[in-house]
């Protein structure tokens, strides 16, 4: 007996059957063929249609319950729409199956092409989504990748111990000490070239010599291992000037550009570190408390009094300022705090002068007199930067820095 694959069928007839008795699948199929024979003429005879492959294999599913039989019949068809409907109506004329009365009802005729079309649409959406996510990097991304690779190639060996280092050790007044080679590579990747690795727990003589003639800043991991390195260097008599710690639980080799620049801005003096870690003697502690802690209390009072109320506009500026850390870029905003554009800070003065719709300017840099003058001419209300070299009382533009928050 020929059969048609469900893949090639255009329609599928779904039939529900209720039988007053217990029957088997062959009884159902035999009743359908027997009671429709000669009903529709030779052209629509079920046996002939199935033999020619225009009607597929009839699938029957039965369930016996309380002496009755319930089930479903599935018939694939490659006939046209009208002929398929006639076949479905003919099957409903089956009144007895085996020795039992039966009720046969066509539940629906499924158009397989609609189902396939729905699948095609959903699958096309998935493919398009995957294709959209695989976006080629723009020119700026390519430039950044090449620049970072070149910077990482600049790693060199320094001193008798051949310590991993950046290319600017001899030229810089300040040296950043890190734990190992991986830390050096990460800082080089983001343009920090005055970095030198300790390469282990023993203190290299090169470090001792540099501590006598250069400003040393120690940059350690944000864990207990970082604290041990700080103590080890201080107990060994290395003349550190500043200490920086990575965010809690993170290592210097894995932190991002933004985290690196935030950490560099929050460096603390070695005297404060000694107090916190209890390394200095009690007499020195009393002296340092008089010199350091009391001014800190005064400074706190001075900062708290003028601190701004964080309204939605200032909160927006703070978020944008955090987003720009280390980018050397600037955001220009309109009066609705919508983004007009982003420019390098080197082009910022000219951009402000040429824009009449700028309401706020946020940038990764210092607020100076040139920028303030340009902002006053263009009617800018807010000028937000990392720090300011201009007294806020000397301008009508509201100056905002990262310390205001």
Residue-by-residue DSSP string for 163-219: EEE-TTTTT-SEEEEESSHHHHHHHHHTT---EEE--SSS--HHHHHHHHHSEEEEE
Q: What are the CA-CA distances from residue 33 to residues 12, 30, 37, 38, 233 (Å)?
A: 18, 5, 6, 10, 96
pLDDT of residue 150: 62
Topology given in CATH for the domain delimited by 143-266: Dna Topoisomerase Vi A Subunit; Chain: A, domain 2 (3.40.1360)
The model carries a pTM of 0.39
- Under CATH, which number does the domain 312-404 receive? 3.40.140.20
- Under CATH, which number does the domain 11-115 receive? 3.30.70.2690
Give the pLDDT of the chain (405 residues) as one tens digit per residue.
444 444 478 899 999 999 999 998 899 989 998 988 888 888 888 888 988 888 988 999 999 988 899 999 999 999 998 999 999 999 999 989 888 999 999 999 999 888 888 899 999 989 888 887 776 666 666 666 666 666 567 788 888 888 989 888 888 889 999 998 888 888 888 888 899 998 876 788 888 888 888 899 999 998 888 888 888 888 888 888 899 999 888 899 899 989 998 888 888 888 888 888 776 544 444 444 444 444 444 343 444 434 445 678 888 888 888 888 877 888 999 888 888 888 888 888 888 888 878 899 999 888 998 889 888 988 899 999 988 888 888 899 999 888 776
Sign, CA torsion 261/265/266/272: positive
Domain ranges of the chain: 11-115, 143-266, 312-404
pLDDT of residue 89: 93
**d(Cα 227, Cα 332) in Å, to the nearest integer?**
42
């Amino acid at each position: 007996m020929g059969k048609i694959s469900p893949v090639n069928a255009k329609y599928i007839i779904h039939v529900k059957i209720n039988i007053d008795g217990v029957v088997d699948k062959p009884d159902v199929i035999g009743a359908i063929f027997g009671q429709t024979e000669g009903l529709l003429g030779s052209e629509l005879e079920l046996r002939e249609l199935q033999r020619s492959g225009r009607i597929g294999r009839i699938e029957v599913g039965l369930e016996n319950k309380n002496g009755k039989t319930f089930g479903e019949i599935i018939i694939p068809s490659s006939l046209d729409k009208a002929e398929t409907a006639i076949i479905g109506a003919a099957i409903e004329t089956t009144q007895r199956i085996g020795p039992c009365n039966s009720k046969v009802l066509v539940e629906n005729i499924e158009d397989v092409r609609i189902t396939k079309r729905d699948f095609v649409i959903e699958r096309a959406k998935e493919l398009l989504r995957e294709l959209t996510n695989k976006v080629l990097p723009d020119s700026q991304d390519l430039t950044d990748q090449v620049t970072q690779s070149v910077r990482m190639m600049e790693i060199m060996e320094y001193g008798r111990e051949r310590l991993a280092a950046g290319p600017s050790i001899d030229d810089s007044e300040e040296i950043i000490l890190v734990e190992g080679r991986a830390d050096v590579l990460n800082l080089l990747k983001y343009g920090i070239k005055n970095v030198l690795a300790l390469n282990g727990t023993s203190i290299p003589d090169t470090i001792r010599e540099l501590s006598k003639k250069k400003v040393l800043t120690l940059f350690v991991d944000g864990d207990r291992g970082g604290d041990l390195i700080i103590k080890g260097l201080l107990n060994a008599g290395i003349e550190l000037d500043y200490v920086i710690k990575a965010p809690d639980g993170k290592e210097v080799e894995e932190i991002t550009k933004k985290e690196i620049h935030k950490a560099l801005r929050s460096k603390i003096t070695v005297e404060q570190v000694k107090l916190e870690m209890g390394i200095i003697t009690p007499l020195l502690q009393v002296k340092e408390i008089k010199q350091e802690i009391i001014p800190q209390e005064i400074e706190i009072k001075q900062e708290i009094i003028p601190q701004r109320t964080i309204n939605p506009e200032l909160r927006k500026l703070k978020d944008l300022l955090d987003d720009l850390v280390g980018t050397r870029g600037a955001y220009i905003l309109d009066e609705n705090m919508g983004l007009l554009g982003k420019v390098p800070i080197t082009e910022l003065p000219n951009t402000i002068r040429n824009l009449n719709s700028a309401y706020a300017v946020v940038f990764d840099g210092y607020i100076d007199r040139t920028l303030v003058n340009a902002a006053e001419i263009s009617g800018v209300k807010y000028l937000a930067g990392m720090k300011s070299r201009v007294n806020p009382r000397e301008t009508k533009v509201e100056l905002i820095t990262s310390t205001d928050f």
